[in-house]
Homo-oligomer: A and B are copies of this chain.
């Protein structure tokens, strides 16, 4: 399993766009970013795209004079990596305190709690 490159916080925003739909042109990516946060600067987005390409998280292919970008790493793999390190660092690696924390601090509806329980039941 090729080790997944480290995606920074801001780069995640970009990756999420590409994971949701790809390939996309830089223009489309930029629009998507601006849609969710108008303060995104196009130049910044391009820089990040480049960096993601350099760290092999994203590939591109020329389509005429413009590029089409697509993710090279799978979202599931990235999620797995950061989830693991997060759980480790913040909750000493054990799920129970983590779940305890979230159910305590996220205000959850009874319905949501039931859903979560159902989720666990499936695993039982």
Taking Cβ atoms with an 8 Å cutoff, the residues of A that contact B are 9, 12, 79-80, 82-87, 89-91, 95-96, 98-106, 108, 110, 112-117, 119-121, 123-124
Contact = CB atoms under 8 A, between A and B. Distances in A.
A100 to B, nearest CB: 6
A116 B112 contact: no
A90 B82 contact: yes
Of A82, A102, A115, A116, most buried by chain B (CB within 10 Å of CB) is A116
Contact of A101 (B83, B96, B103, B123): B83
Grouping DSSP codes into helix (H, G, I), strand (E, B) and loop, the A interface class, with mixed when no group exceeds half, is: helix
Given A83-B102, A83-B105, A108-B123, A116 B95 contact: yes
A90 to B, nearest CB: 6
A89 B120 contact: no
Contacts of A85: 9
Contacts of A117: 117, 120-121
Contacts of A116: 95-96, 99, 120
Given A82-B86, A83-B105, A86-B86, A124 B100 contact: no
B120 A101 contact: no
Of A87, A98, A117, most buried by chain B (CB within 10 Å of CB) is A117
